[in-house]
Structure 1
Amino acid sequence: MEQVMPDHVQWIKEKCLTFQPEQNKLTLASGQQIEYDVLVVAAGLQQNFGAVPGLPETMGKNGVASIYSFQYSPSVWTNITGMQKGKAIFTNPATAVNCGGAPQKICYLAEAAWRERGVRNSIDIEFCTATPGIFACPEYRVALEKIMKSKNITAHVKTNLVEVDGERKIAMFEREGGELLTKEFDFLHVTPPMSAPDFIRNSPLANAAGFVDVDKETCQHTKFPNIFSLGDCSSLPTSKTYSAISSQAPVVTYNVQALLAGGEPTSAYDGYTACPVLLGDSKLLLAEFNGYTMEATPTFKPLDQTKPNTLFYWLKRYVFEHVYWHSMPLGRWYGKYMWFEPSVQHKVNAASSSPKASPPSETAALKASVPVSGAGEASHGAAAAADSLKPELFGVSTPNLPGDVSLSGNLDVAILEQLAPRYKGWLYLNPEDNKHFHKKELEAAGCKVEVAPIPNPAGSQKATEEHASAVLSAMDRLPRPLMIQCTSGNRAGAALLLAQAKALGHNRASASLLAEDLDLKFFTKCSECGPIKDWVLDQLPGVNEEAQSSTATRQAAVIEQLFDPQGSSTFTYLLGCSQSQEAVLIDPVLGMEGRDLGLAEELGFKVKYVVNTHCHADHITSGGAIKKLHPEVKTMISEASGAAADIKLKDGDKIEFGQYALQAVATPGHTDGCMCFVLNGPDAPKAVFTGDTVLIRGCGRTDFQQGDAARLYDMIHQKIFTLPEDTKIYPGHDYKGRNVSTVAEEKKFNPRLTQNKEEFIKTMKELNLPYPKMMDEAVPANLVCGV
């Protein structure tokens, strides 16, 4: 950097911590604040190796490496040169990555190296990408698919790396629709998931995806006119490449000059990008395209740029190296125009133009115009100002579950005074003597305030179970709407997740999914929040451990969730009435009847009914086996299923056990005979047992056993999604260790069921799931009650 840094530029060698755009300031890690007239944000991407479980622990060993890791990139070549035979897998995530062609480049270079050494025929090569195709631009995608085929490289699209077991040399991938694939490897090259850096993602500059929110033509921020961004950290919807940045840089330069001169931005970036894909053998495919339209935009006509070319290799090898070090740092490189400065490109789409005038400082304006109310009640003026204030500008978020709890970091006292009237409760997670705690102002606004400190994860003190108990107790006492505040908002998000997970009976896997769906930044965007994330998860049961909130008191309805780990991943439910000691088993699995009946006996229950949600294709019911042991037990299934049972159920029938009852709800779609069961009774928890009709963030397949996607969609939306939103959904299966969901969660976050009906039908038609392994054995057996 010192070699290219201009002499007249002050180079501050310190991390940026956050931005205060309403004050035209940014804060450094040391706490120093820097004021600016114009800010240009041009950070790179953040590599999130920790987003793939097991990956950080095995990087640089066990045949796992990545060119995206400065520390472990040398081991890439060591693994390639040392490999004699076996399987090599190269991955690519669904996220944006630095240089979108690089994951393929290293694959091609490795293939060429193995071919040169004469071991290529002993090595199987797979390229697994989470994206829908191996390249975004269709014209070059077709060309690269042919190249992969010619090199005998097997490509798998929509195949995302989700876990690595380095010691066993196993990689786990997730296909579209949730199917999990396990692949053994001898060499695994990982391109990790990437994102904008945390200091940007957690700032007021970021859009919902975490990138600096700019106009795609002017590169000017959509809210703050004196802020511009280009390159990897910007929201520009094109590839994150050097060629794209070199085309954006002149646009930003011209527009900043125009702004400083008192004018409006006029220069427009047109989406140009390029990706030189090294193929080995001194050949290169030069992919030039418009990143907005994905149309090919070749420069070197009449040459066919979809074909490998040695000329392009020498261009990359020698000419571009000179450009990197001598032309671009001096402002003498103009992207696709090369060394020839283009004329200013004027914007033609006025409707999409950026903000026109720099606003006054939000904080200054509020301090000048809004009075502070007297103790005990917020003034009408403050309440009116609070109604018009946009909390998200100051880093405040309100996750849509539960919807009445907001999260915040430190707030300027003037901002806090305007926000406080919106809330009845305020929970502060730092010590009471913290200078950013404004208790007096909060109480003056009418908030009930409590303090329950959680240690900062960056400090030496660790959060404990006692801290969790204190936070949960405070949240129970405080009225809603509620604000939870800490330094950055991260511990506030952790407190919210812990409370939600405890209330809903979530285990660690279900809580992790909820955190991702709610986009709680301590979980999804903070690379330094590992300790606080672990603290939350440590308070929850692990996979197949009982969640305390899923079982009511022994004086009421008892719900026990049991799991079959032997292939079918089926959940069996034991429901009991403590008063009558009668119990019901839902979806028991053959071979597990000893466990199920043993638990019933241990709890003092006598099984009255065995109920199946449908005629299963992935396991055999133990209903018949249980009847042989206990002839008094009655089996039940939907009459529409066509299966044998003692009692055949119709829509609306009730299954009574003690003072409780299950109401049968016909939900055909996965199969003709599918039923869900809603729990009713005095003080019964709100619960529905959905079998394969609704799964956690999914649903049952519709490609066999009279499946009907349109019917399934209607049944779920008409009969399940109309239940109270806090109703717990207990599914028939889960393949990722999760245990329970709610109607609200599935209505908001289920990727299939949030589609419209036509999109849902198309999705279900295109799942292409494998034929169930047990189907030919299970269905005939289940038609006769598992006998």
Structure 2
Amino acid sequence: MTAPLQTCDVLIVGGGAGGIATAASLLKRRPDLDVRIVEPSEDHFYQPGWTLVGGGVFRPERTRRRTADLIPGRACWIRDSVAAFEPKHDRVRLAGGGTLGYRMMVASPGLKLDWAAIPGLSGTLGQNGVTSNYRYDLAPYTWKLVQDLTHGRALFTQPPMPIKCAGAPQKAMYLSSDHWLRNGRLKNIDVAFHNAGPVLFGVADYVPALMEYVERYDIALHFGSRLVAVDGPARTATFESLDADGKAVRTDREFEMLHVCPPQTAPDVVRDSALAAAAGGWIEVDPDTLRHVRFGNVFGLGDGCSSPNAKTAAAARKQAPVVAENLLAVLDGGDPVAFYDGYGSCPLTVERGKIVLAEFGYGGKLLPSFPDWMLDGKRPTRRAWHLKAQALPEIYWAGMLKGHEWLAKPQRTCPPV
């Protein structure tokens, strides 16, 4: 005899930043909701802190807490993962067996770091001078390499967009270069940035300040240059670019240190589902309301969504209250009432003690949280460093994940086009 289908008011897929923050915001507004969170991981990570781990500022343990300690008390944690989305039937299939139905669903599964897309990379990570701040276990190795390197070539890479925290690859580069400069080693180290994209940073207002540091550290910029293979034992990286005739050309470069930002895609379970957009396979949501464009009882937020904002924790902090407000409005039979302006933030750590605080929304519109006299985000400041290193981790753990919407109150009017 088939067991009856379990159902809940709100099913949240993903217990990362977006999922837990949304659960907390929902339950703060309506404590009697039956909210269930599907998340397989025992540990939860404050991923923005990994840049500072790789720069020797944070201990890695500061960025990790137990998932059980972060799930809102009135929510039910299902320690499992989703094997398939079935939005036409208002249910998901779980990897551990069985199905779970819902009245409303919030999809916040994050994205996939596709290490295997670069031949030779996976087998050499954490050794042979190959590292990445995009993994908790590798960020300490970044700092070890930075401390130990005295001469030679240090390469930093960035794949095609979209990626999680587009500034992270160059944050690692600036912090490393600053350490070598302070210790008198930079003159013996050739630093190069291989960016598959055409520009240093996607919002032009912040580029002048960044270029000052590129020049200070004498960094060689290679745009349109994509990492396509790594030979760890030979300490050789292969890059592909286009020549003047549009023909792909491959170049091998030896290195002593290689910091890799991996290619990133929508999770396989999303790309293979009816939730996926035709382009890219991301969860297809309306960028203003974050409601799915085809399934009215589904909302999405975080790194796995199609909305054209920067994929950052700061974006999820702004998105969660919008999803909470709109989900409850739809659950009650109405239409979405709150709007997301595309806000994202990228604190660019240009040296130890100074940050260029990039804050922007859809279309690159600047959306500063503070007036220029208090904190000019277009210039490197110590105030922004203290915000990043001291305030933001606590705002994350004690604010965002607890449903406190400091500087994140949802807008009730649609942003102008």
TM-score normalised by the chain length of structure 1: 0.43
Aligned partner of 1:220 in structure 2 is: 291
2:196 pairs with 1:133 = no
Q: Deviations over 1:422-476 (max 9, x none)?
A: xxxxxxxxxxxxxxxxxxxxxxxxxxxxxxxxxxxxxxxxxxxxxxxxxxxxxxx
Aligned partner of 1:345 in structure 2 is: 413
Aligned partner of 2:222 in structure 1 is: 156
Q: 2:397 aligns with which of 302, 325, 330?
A: 325
Query: Does the Cα contact within 8 Å between 1:267 and 1:347 map onto a contact in 2?
Result: no
Q: Deviations over 1:622-644 (max 9, x none)?
A: xxxxxxxxxxxxxxxxxxxxxxx
2:339 pairs with 1:268 = yes
Which whole-Å CA distance do the structure 1 matches of 2:263 and 2:206 have between them? Answer: 23
2:240 pairs with 1:174 = yes
Q: 1:306 aligns with which of 378, 397, 404?
A: 378
Aligned partner of 1:83 in structure 2 is: 149
Which whole-Å CA distance do the structure 1 matches of 2:353 and 2:191 have between them? Answer: 20
Please tell me the residue identity of whatever aligns with 2:147: T
Aligned partner of 2:101 in structure 1 is: 35
Which whole-Å CA distance do the structure 1 matches of 2:415 and 2:387 have between them? Answer: 32
Q: In terms of Rg, which structure is larger?
A: 1
Q: Deviations over 1:317-342 (max 9, x none)?
A: 111121011111121125xx35xx35
Aligned partner of 2:275 in structure 1 is: 205
Aligned partner of 1:244 in structure 2 is: 315
Aligned partner of 1:196 in structure 2 is: 266
Cα pair distance change 1:51/1:102, threshold 3 Å: same
Which whole-Å CA distance do the structure 2 matches of 1:348 and 1:147 have between them? Answer: 35
Please tell me the residue identity of whatever aligns with 2:412: V
Three-state SS of the structure 2 residue aligned to 1:27 is strand
The structural deviation recorded for 1:30 is 1.6
The structural deviation recorded for 1:301 is 2.1
Higher normalized contact order (CA 8 Å, seq sep 6+, divided by chain length): 2
Three-state SS of the structure 2 residue aligned to 1:37 is strand
Three-state SS of the structure 1 residue aligned to 2:207 is helix
The structural deviation recorded for 1:243 is 1.2
Please tell me the residue identity of whatever aligns with 1:273: G
Which whole-Å CA distance do the structure 1 matches of 2:322 and 2:194 have between them? Answer: 36
Which whole-Å CA distance do the structure 1 matches of 2:203 and 2:211 have between them? Answer: 12
Please tell me the residue identity of whatever aligns with 1:182: D
Three-state SS of the structure 2 residue aligned to 1:324 is helix
Which whole-Å CA distance do the structure 1 matches of 2:89 and 2:217 have between them? Answer: 56
Q: 2:211 aligns with which of 138, 145, 151?
A: 145
Please tell me the residue identity of whatever aligns with 1:284: I
2:92 pairs with 1:26 = yes
Three-state SS of the structure 2 residue aligned to 1:54 is coil
> What is the correspondence of 1:438-587 to structure 2 with a 5 Å cutoff?
none
Query: Does the Cα contact within 8 Å between 2:338 and 2:411 map onto a contact in 1?
Result: no
Q: Deviations over 1:136-174 (max 9, x none)?
A: 101112321232112211111111101111121111111
Which whole-Å CA distance do the structure 2 matches of 1:113 and 1:238 have between them? Answer: 32
Which whole-Å CA distance do the structure 1 matches of 2:378 and 2:313 have between them? Answer: 20
Which whole-Å CA distance do the structure 2 matches of 1:32 and 1:309 have between them? Answer: 52
Three-state SS of the structure 2 residue aligned to 1:36 is strand
Please tell me the residue identity of whatever aligns with 2:263: P
Cα pair distance change 1:315/1:173, threshold 3 Å: same
Which whole-Å CA distance do the structure 2 matches of 1:266 and 1:343 have between them? Answer: 8
The structural deviation recorded for 1:114 is 1.4
Structure 1: 5+ residue stretches without partners: 350-787
TM-score normalised by the chain length of structure 2: 0.79
Q: Deviations over 1:390-429 (max 9, x none)?
A: xxxxxxxxxxxxxxxxxxxxxxxxxxxxxxxxxxxxxxxx
Query: Does the Cα contact within 8 Å between 1:266 and 1:347 map onto a contact in 2?
Result: no
The structural deviation recorded for 1:185 is 0.8
Which whole-Å CA distance do the structure 2 matches of 1:134 and 1:202 have between them? Answer: 33
Query: Does the Cα contact within 8 Å between 2:288 and 2:414 map onto a contact in 1?
Result: no
Cα pair distance change 1:203/1:193, threshold 3 Å: same
The structural deviation recorded for 1:63 is 0.9
Which whole-Å CA distance do the structure 1 matches of 2:151 and 2:415 have between them? Answer: 56
Which whole-Å CA distance do the structure 2 matches of 1:343 and 1:48 have between them? Answer: 35
Query: Does the Cα contact within 8 Å between 1:66 and 1:72 map onto a contact in 2?
Result: yes
Which whole-Å CA distance do the structure 2 matches of 1:263 and 1:46 have between them? Answer: 34
Which whole-Å CA distance do the structure 2 matches of 1:305 and 1:242 have between them? Answer: 18
Aligned partner of 2:54 in structure 1 is: none
Q: After TM superposition, what 4+ stretches of structure 1 lie above 4 angstroms from structure 2?
A: 346-349
Three-state SS of the structure 1 residue aligned to 2:238 is strand
Which whole-Å CA distance do the structure 1 matches of 2:367 and 2:315 have between them? Answer: 13
Query: Does the Cα contact within 8 Å between 1:282 and 1:313 map onto a contact in 2?
Result: yes
Cα pair distance change 1:101/1:343, threshold 3 Å: closer
The structural deviation recorded for 1:298 is 2.5
Q: Deviations over 1:228-258 (max 9, x none)?
A: 0001001011110111111111111110010
The structural deviation recorded for 1:315 is 1.3
Which whole-Å CA distance do the structure 2 matches of 1:347 and 1:73 have between them? Answer: 38
The structural deviation recorded for 1:191 is 0.5
Q: Deviations over 1:520-555 (max 9, x none)?
A: xxxxxxxxxxxxxxxxxxxxxxxxxxxxxxxxxxxx
Structure 2: 5+ residue stretches without partners: 1-66
Q: Which structure shows the bigger proportion of residues in strand conformation? A: 2
The structural deviation recorded for 1:113 is 1.6
Which whole-Å CA distance do the structure 2 matches of 1:11 and 1:124 have between them? Answer: 49
Query: Does the Cα contact within 8 Å between 2:209 and 2:356 map onto a contact in 1?
Result: no
Cα pair distance change 1:107/1:167, threshold 3 Å: same
